[in-house]
Structure 1
Amino acid sequence: MGEKMAFRARNPEQTRADILAAARAEFAKLGLAGARVDTIADASGANKRMIYHYFGGKEQLFEAVIEEAYVGIRAGESELGLDEMTPTDALHALVVATWQYYLDNPEFITLVNSANLHQARHIAGNKQLRKLQKAYVERVAGILQRGEAQRKFRKGIDPVQLCITIAAIGFYYLTNRHTGGVLFGFNFMSRDALAKRLQFNLDTVMRLVLV
């Protein structure tokens, strides 16, 4: 144990990453109220004292996990090279990337739901996330402006509303996949259903913006 602790002491970034990964899984599964620091400590190979040292407590750890989740999706969007694409291709790529992020990171949906359950108080003072969101909206606004200038997009589309729509049409489908599957009578997560949903999302967004 002494050697393990000494190793971790020399690798603070890895220790923090291990704790965050374990916390992400625990919070995604049980939410803030149900998650236990002891379980996170065991899963991360750390201990409670180290968690308190790095994060201060369970509430602060939850804040860090939520921040990481949002940073992840915003970072992925910034790497798409949207500004170098045609406006139509850029929106297409953004819709696909948003959908794929949800599929590749299923914990994102449950974490966001948990954050909303607590009325977003864990991100309310987070200036970094607001800055990232502002940059995202501005990027979408730029795509719309270029599309307008080329007379391919309708005039006056609200970039904030479009950002919300792109997020919502995928998020709602996946967060309600279990009840939806029962009520609509098909498996929302089958390969065919997911492909059809993505195409519907693309058609919806493009019909909103195209002239």
Structure 2
Amino acid sequence: MYQKVHCSGPRVGDGGHAPARVARVSDQPIRQRDAERTRSELLAVATEVFAESGYSGARVDEIAERTSTTKRMIYYYFGGKEQLYRAVLEEAYRGIREAERGIDVGELGPAEAMRRLAELTYDHHLEHQAFIRLVSIENIHRGEHIQRLQSLRDLGQPAMSLLDEILERGRSEGVFRDDVDAFDVHLIISAYCVFQVANQYTFGYLFSRDLHAPESRAHLRSLIGDVVVSWLRDR
């Protein structure tokens, strides 16, 4: 659909006047989609650069070069390196939270539901190793940037609510102990899954084991499910 935009000045073919300029009504949504795609691409590349080099070592010039854009464009979308880093952090945490919300355990018994949650968390961490590196970097900086992202607290609530729901079902059925809460369970699962990525090189070297070897994955994946479910069993 088009809309004529009249402008002053001569028009060729009508007494020496130039033809009226025609503008697309649909230009704005197209530009919006292009802006969203550009921002998404910048975030993806920035995630790689920050995960590889850390906050201090990452350079906006390198991010611009990898995306074939300019520093000015990055500053236009994010405001600067610090704001870009925070956007990367927020996007990384949003990814794990969306994965957690997508877990359907409604028809499973509490023990199997908890096992499913633990194993899928393991899968996500191995498949998104940049997320773990970013978490490690942020802890090196003592949470300086994450503390300015109040939205991440809100993002974490659905995951805790899901754990609360599974725990409550397990207690009501008499299969889960009643002296642990959702935070305890989240801590145990996260500690194990983060370790698989954060310490893979040091642990692997010291004990001559490849934590990410295909033949080891099924065993290590089931291990966290076994640990959590066994620990939660009513005593």
TM-score (norm 1): 0.91
Residue identity over aligned pairs, in percent, reads 37
Residue in 2 that maps onto 1:17:
40
- Tell me the SS of whatever aligns to 1:169: helix
Point out where structure 2 has 5 or more consecutive residues left out of the alignment: 1-29
Q: Aligned in 2, Cα 1:96/1:10: closer, same or farther, shift over 3 Å?
A: closer
Residue in 2 that maps onto 1:80:
103
Code of the residue aligned with 2:83 in structure 1: it is Q
Q: Aligned in 2, Cα 1:197/1:49: closer, same or farther, shift over 3 Å?
A: same
Q: CA deviation at 1:45?
A: 2.4
1:49 aligns with 2:72: yes
Bigger share in helix: 1
CA contact 1:66–1:111 (8 Å) conserved in 2: yes
Q: 1:97 aligns with which of 98, 102, 120?
A: 120
Cα distance between partner residues in 2 of 1:137 and 1:9: 35
Residue in 2 that maps onto 1:175:
198
- Tell me the SS of whatever aligns to 1:207: helix
Code of the residue aligned with 2:163 in structure 1: it is V
CA contact 1:87–1:144 (8 Å) conserved in 2: yes
Code of the residue aligned with 2:194 in structure 1: it is F
Correspondence 1:2-151 to 2 at 5 A? 11-151=34-174
Q: Aligned in 2, Cα 1:87/1:10: closer, same or farther, shift over 3 Å?
A: closer
Point out where structure 1 has 5 or more consecutive residues left out of the alignment: 1-6
C-alpha deviations, 1:50-96, integer Å up to 9, x for none? 11011111111110111111110010010112344321222111111
C-alpha deviations, 1:15-36, integer Å up to 9, x for none? 1001001101100110111111
Cα distance between partner residues in 2 of 1:21 and 1:67: 12
Code of the residue aligned with 1:143 in structure 2: it is I
Moved more, 132-141 or 11-20: 132-141
RMSD (CA atoms) = 1.6
TM-score (norm 2): 0.83
Moved more, 81-90 or 29-38: 81-90
Code of the residue aligned with 2:63 in structure 1: it is I
Q: Aligned in 2, Cα 1:178/1:59: closer, same or farther, shift over 3 Å?
A: same
CA contact 1:154–1:209 (8 Å) conserved in 2: yes
Cα distance between partner residues in 2 of 1:204 and 1:17: 38
